[in-house]
Structures are given as C-alpha cells and as structure tokens.
C-alpha cells in the first residue's frame, strides 16, 4: 500500500484526473479496459494519485473500475474515488453519494464542496451555514472510513472574488473536518495569473492545512496558474494528461510534470520515469481515440522538430541553441523535417533491449529507422502498439520470422430475423501444413479473430490463451470519405500481459487482420522467450 504523498517531502504530489475529469471531455468515452490500461501507464510514469472516477449506481463503469483496480499491483500510485459532500439536510452516513464513495474501498476519497456563495444560494439552493455543515461533517465522517481525505474547493477563485470571507470559511470548515489536503479549484478556468497568485497567497495566511491546486484552461492560463501554485508551495498538483477535460480542458500534466522536474528542480518523478512521458501521453491519446496534438509542449511530435535550414544547422552544432530542453529527458525524438537524421538513438535504445550489443552503426538500425519512417508515413503509430513494434525490431534483427502464413479469408454477413450474423472462413499455412476452418462472431472482426485462433491453435496451442480485449478504429484523413485510410489498434491479453498491435489500410477488414496477425505472432514470440 502506497504511503500518503503529503508526508514525503518538498516535491508536490501529482494527482491525475484523466479517468474522471479527462473523460468528461467532448468526444472522449473511456471503457473499463481503457481506464485500467491508462491507470497502469500512469503508475509506471510515477503519478502519486490516480482519480478513478465517481462511483455511484449511475456510473457502472466507475463502480467496476474500483472493484478491478484493487486486484492491480500498482507500485507508485494511490487510487482516489471522487464525489461530493452530502446533500442539504442529509447526514453523511445516510447520504447515497457518500455511501457509494465508502463502498468503493478506495484508500483516498476526494470530495468537492461549494466555495462560491452564488452556487450555494442559487444552484444547490441552501443556506450558507448549511453548506459549511455539509463540508465539515462529510470530511469528518470520511476520515473514519478511508486513509486520506482530499477536499476540492470547487469554484474557489470565483467565490473568493465575489465573497472572500465566505470562501475562506468553506476552507476552514474542511480544515475543521480534518481534510488532509485542501485543493483550490479554478473550476471555470477564468482566473488570470496575477489574480491567482494574490488569492493563493491570501489563503495561505488563513489556512493551516496543506494546499493543492486544480485549474481549468478556459482563459489559457491553467498551466501558468499551476506553476505559480507550485512555486508558492502547493503540496498537490492536479491535472489531466494531454490537457483533456470539459470545455477547454484541464491543466496539462504532460506539460506540468517536465516543468516541475526540469525547470523547477522538483523531483515529482524520477529521471527514468520522465523518459516515459512522451510514450505515455501518446498512449493515452490512442486509448481516448483522439488524434494526439502534435503541437503540445514536450510530448507533441512537433515539439522538437526543426524545418528551417538555419535552425537545423544550429541544433546540429549546439542543440540548446534552438531547444529549451533535451528531448531525451522526456522520451521524445528530435526530428529534422528536411533531413534523414532522425531518431537513430531512440531506435538503438529500443533495439538494445532485444540485442544488448547492437550499435548505432549496425545496418539493422538504419533499416529499422527507414522502415518505421515509411510506416509512419502510411499512418502507423507505435506508441500504443508496442507489440507490433517489438515484432518489427525482431524481424529486422533476424531474431524472428513469421511462424505462419495467412493464405486468405472470406467473411459473410447474414441478416436473419432482424439480427446480423458474421462468419469468417480462414486458410493459414504453418510449415508444410495448411489449416482451413471457420468461426462466427458478433461482427466481422470478431469472427475473423475467432477463426484465426481456431485455425492456428492446431499448431500453437498457447494461442488459445489470447483474448482480444479492445478494438479501436481511427479514420486518418476524413477528406477521402469512405476511401480514407483507417488505423486499427487492437489490445490483447493472455491473462498475464497486455499488448497492443496495429494495422493500417483503406480497407477496415485488411487493417484489422494485419493487427490481429501481429497480436498472435507476438504471443508466439513471447513463448519463445524473445522479449526481456
């Protein structure tokens, strides 16, 4: 069990709310599998708190998440459940929302309460005194039910501007209840940095409980305000990877983490964890089925790209002449748009995991780099398809050749009594044997998956352990309409490991079987002990 980060020293704790606040962004709807996979990646990154969602009967996915996340062996992260104070007139122990938080069995519970008298009087329509009771008593009760209680002071900055005395009273009510941390929230995202700093400093004069910060980006100041809070001693930094969130989004942890670590010298993550930042950020975009923003600081593909001749010349001579940090620090790759010199070191680092003695001069490096560039031009992205990338490396190193040949398939769709049925017939060759079989499924890809594994299990019984747990399709260029290329990302598991594989084609079935075949080849290579 992870220790409360609030007692671990000077560096602030990172509190990620991608699974809750990020999931509220327009166009994002994370499945249970998505949430679990993202939580694993955030744990690898070294995030201290992962807010899993709001567990209540109307959110069955979140309820299930808290059940399943308890089985995960997280190393760095504590799981937090999110909810509100009890309702007006209710006791916390009798309130359905509060009960659901307790039933989540999360070690950390985060609740929000009203700081703005406008919300108290006009939104939840209660008295100012009753709101203070709701805050204090809910915090007090939850302190007896979990290890740590965090209080989010919702709309605090707007509340302070409107009625500073009352806004402070709401914080003191949470302090009286025993909150471990009080988080000042710029929920409407409209506070400018100069006002933010004055208000934060004013609160520090009145409140003894450690303070955190939670900002939104409606005025484009979320990251700036967060960095001000960190400079003033905030002990908890809340945000969302890639800045996803309602309206204009939340403070972007993909930007904040390297700013804290590199610019401010605050050891919020280790150097090795920071090197995972780029890949984790892209992975989360893929899980959210959102095109990754190439112009994001640090983790966007354009963040360290150089196109102008003078810029390229300067960077090649002295990198810091045109780069504010070394891209290696965040696991990113320097890209020369008009040059063939790109990514060699990153390729070597990955190849060395499979063949420790490989050097940058090895022909396999050039071959792999050329192959990756060509595939990325076609629409491939490997950050969330590590399985396909590992196979690509093994093939280029001559350590693995495909163990079967896909000879062909036929997929039929039949509409019977208002129901659509799918059946796939496949023919595969392994060695000198050919297997020809069929299977059905709840869709063409499902049928193809079942038929492939049914045919190949004759040669490789271990493939019966493989299960497809997620399937995503991304249209790469909508201007081509139904002729557009699509990227298919598949996540598979054998019960002990999860891996992603990818396929790209203008035909969705072809893209799917490319990804499916890689998924099964990965399992075979894994059983051959080719991965460290």
Instruction: Report residue 398's pLDDT band, with 50, 70 and 90 as the boundaries.
Output: confident
**What pLDDT is attached to residue 338?**
35
Q: What local confidence, expressed as pLDDT, does residue 498 receive?
A: 84
CATH number where 142 lies: 3.20.20.70
Is 317 a domain residue? no
Considering its fold, how many domains does the chain have in total?
Answer: 2
- Is residue 478 pLDDT above 80, yes or no? no
- Rounded CA gap, 370 and 271, in Å? 29
Edge-to-edge strand ranges of the sheet holding 486-493: 467-475, 486-493, 498-505
User: Is residue 266 included in any domain, yes or no?
Assistant: yes
- Classify residue 481: in a domain, yes or no: yes
What are the tokens at 91? Answer: 């006791």
Q: Are residues 410 and 279 in the same domain?
A: no
Say how far residue 458 (Cα) sits from the centre of its chain. Answer: 37
**Within this chain, do residues 413 and 274 fall inside the same structural domain, yes or no?**
no
- At how many degrees (to 10) do helices 193-204 and 222-231 cross? 30
- Higher pLDDT pick, 307 / 488: 488
Query: How many CA atoms does the CB half-sphere of 431 hold within 13 Å?
Result: 5
How far from the centroid of its chain's Cα atoms is residue 510's Cα? 28
C-alpha–C-alpha distance, residues 63 and 70, integer Å = 12
Residues 261, 129 share a domain:
yes
Q: Are 143 and 93 in contact (CB under 8 A)?
A: no
383 found inside a domain: no
pLDDT at 285 over 60: yes
Domain boundary among 268, 287, 306: 287
C-alpha–C-alpha distance, residues 72 and 82, integer Å:
19
Choose the weakest-confidence range: 51-60, 267-276, 295-304, 314-323: 314-323
More confident position, 228 or 442 = 228
Q: Is the pLDDT of residue 499 over 80?
A: yes
Judged against a pLDDT cut of 80, whether residue 348 lies above it is answered with no
Q: Which domain holds residue 91?
A: 5-287
**Residue 272 falls inside a structural domain:** yes
Residue 279: which pLDDT band, with cuts at 50, 70 and 90? very high
Between strands 419-430 and 78-84, the pairing is: unpaired
| Closest among 4, 234, 243 to 109, alpha carbons compared | 4
Residue 126 has pLDDT above 80, yes or no: yes
pLDDT digits (tens, 9 = 90+) for 449-468: 999 999 999 899 999 999 88
pLDDT of residue 139: 98
pLDDT tier, 346 (very low <50, low <70, confident <90, very high otherwise): low
**Within a 10 A sphere around the Cβ of 234, how many other Cβ atoms?**
23
Q: Is residue 373 part of a domain?
A: no
Instruction: Tell me which of 248, 263, 287 is where a domain ends.
Output: 287
What are the beta bridge partners of residue 306?
A: 336
Q: How many helices (H) and strands (E) does the chain have?
A: 18, 16
Q: What is the pLDDT of residue 1?
A: 43
pLDDT (mean) for 478-491: 81
- Which residue, among 183, 260, 188, 194, has the nearest Cα to 225 in the 3D structure? 194
CA nearest to 131, candidates 172, 98, 164: 172
Report the alpha-carbon distance of residue 258 to residue 283 in Å, rounded.
Answer: 17
Is the predicted pLDDT of residue 307 greater than 90, yes or no? Answer: no
Segment 297-325 mean pLDDT: 77
Instruction: Identify the band that residue 102 occupies on the pLDDT scale cut at 50, 70 and 90.
Output: very high
142-151, 311-320, 392-401: which is most confident: 142-151
Is the per-residue pLDDT at 344 higher than 60? no
Looking at 147-156, 195-204, 330-339, which range is the least confident one? 330-339
Q: b vs e for 340-361, b when ≥16 Cβ sit within 10 Å of the residue's Cβ?
A: eebbbebbbebbeebeeebeee
- Percent of the chain whose pLDDT exceeds 90: 70
Q: Are residues 58 and 194 in the same domain?
A: yes
Query: 45-54, 55-64, 395-404 — which one is most confidently predicted on average?
Result: 45-54
Q: Where are the alpha helices (DSSP H) in 412-527?
A: 444-456, 508-527
Other residues' Cβ atoms within 10 Å of the Cβ of residue 192: 14
pLDDT over threshold 80, residue 315: no
Q: Kindly state whether residue 342 falls inside one of the protein's structural domains.
A: no
Regarding predicted confidence, which is higher, 213 or 359?
Answer: 213
pLDDT(118) > 90: yes
Q: What is the pLDDT of residue 45?
A: 98
Q: What angle do CA 276, 281, 284 make, to 5 degrees?
A: 120
Say how far apart CA 42 and CA 35 lie, in whole Å: 10
Of 262, 287, 312, the residue that ends a domain is: 287
When pLDDT is cut at 50, 70 and 90, the band that residue 421 belongs to is: confident
Both 79 and 227 in a single domain? yes
Spatial CA neighbour of 528 closest among 391, 410, 348? 391
Query: In the predicted model, what is the mean pLDDT of the chain?
Result: 90
- Report whether pLDDT(340) > 50: no
Instruction: Decide if pLDDT at 138 tops 80.
Output: yes
Q: What's the Cα-to-Cα distance from 301 to each of 282, 306, 328, 381, rounded to whole Å?
A: 10, 11, 13, 11
Of 78, 90, 135, the closest CA to residue 111 belongs to: 135
CATH number at residue 503: 3.30.160.270
Asked, for residue 48, whether it belongs to a domain, the answer is yes
Res 7 pLDDT > 60: no
261 and 123 both lie in a single domain:
yes
Confidence of residue 58 (pLDDT cuts 50, 70, 90): confident
């Amino acid at each position: 069990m992870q220790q409360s980060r609030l007692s671990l020293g000077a560096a602030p704790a990172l509190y990620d709310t991608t699974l809750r606040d990020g999931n509220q962004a327009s166009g994002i709807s994370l499945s249970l599998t998505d949430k679990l996979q993202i939580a694993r990646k955030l744990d690898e990154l070294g995030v201290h708190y992962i807010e899993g969602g709001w567990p209540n009967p109307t959110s069955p996915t979140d309820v299930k998440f808290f059940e399943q996340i308890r089985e995960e062996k997280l190393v760095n992260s504590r799981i937090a459940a999110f909810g509100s104070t009890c309702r007006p007139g209710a006791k916390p122990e009798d309130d359905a929302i509060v009960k659901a938080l307790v039933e989540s069995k999360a070690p950390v519970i985060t609740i929000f309460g009203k700081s703005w008298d406008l919300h108290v009087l006009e939104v939840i329509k209660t008295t100012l005194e009753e709101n203070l009771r709701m805050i204090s008593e809910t915090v007090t009760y939850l302190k007896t039910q979990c290890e740590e209680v965090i209080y989010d002071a919702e709309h605090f900055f707007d509340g302070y501007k409107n009625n500073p005395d009352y806004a402070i009273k709401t914080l003191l009510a949470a302090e009286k209840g025993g909150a471990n941390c009080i988080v000042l929230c710029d929920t409407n995202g409209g506070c400018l940095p100069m006002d933010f700093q004055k208000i934060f400093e004013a609160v520090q004069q009145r409140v003894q409980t450690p303070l955190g910060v939670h900002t939104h980006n409606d005025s484009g100041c979320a990251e700036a305000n967060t960095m001000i809070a960190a400079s003033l001693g905030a002990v908890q930094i809340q945000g969302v990877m890639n800045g996803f969130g309602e309206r204009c989004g939340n403070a972007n942890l993909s930007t904040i983490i390297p700013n804290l670590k590199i610019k401010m010298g605050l050891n919020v993550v280790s150097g090795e964890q920071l090197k995972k930042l780029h890949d984790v950020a892209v992975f989360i975009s893929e899980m959210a089925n959102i095109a990754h923003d190439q112009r994001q600081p640090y983790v966007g593909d354009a963040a360290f790209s150089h196109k102008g001749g003078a810029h390229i010349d300067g960077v090649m001579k002295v990198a810091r002449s045109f780069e504010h940090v070394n891209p290696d620090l965040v696991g990113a790759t320097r890209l020369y748009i008009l040059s063939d010199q790109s990514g060699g070191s990153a390729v070597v680092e990955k190849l060395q995991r499979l063949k420790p003695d490989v050097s940058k001069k090895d022909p396999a490096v050039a071959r792999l780099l050329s192959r990756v560039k060509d595939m990325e031009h076609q629409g491939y992205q490997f950050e969330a398809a590590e399985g396909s990338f590992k196979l690509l490396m093994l093939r280029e190193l001559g350590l693995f050749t495909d163990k079967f040949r896909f000879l062909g398939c036929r997929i039929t769709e039949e509409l019977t009594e208002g129901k659509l049925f799918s059946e796939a017939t496949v023919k595969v060759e392994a060695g000198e044997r050919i297997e020809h079989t069929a299977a059905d499924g709840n869709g063409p890809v499902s049928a193809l998956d079942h038929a492939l594994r049914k045919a190949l299990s004759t040669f490789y019984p271990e493939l019966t352990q493989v299960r497809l747990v997620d399937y995503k399709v991304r249209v790469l260029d909508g201007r081509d309409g139904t002729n557009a290329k699509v990227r298919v990302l598949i996540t598979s598991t054998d019960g002990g490991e999860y891996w992603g594989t990818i396929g790209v084609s203008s035909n969705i079935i072809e893209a799917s079987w490319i990804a499916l075949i890689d998924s099964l080849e990965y399992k075979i290579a894994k059983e051959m002990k080719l991965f460290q």
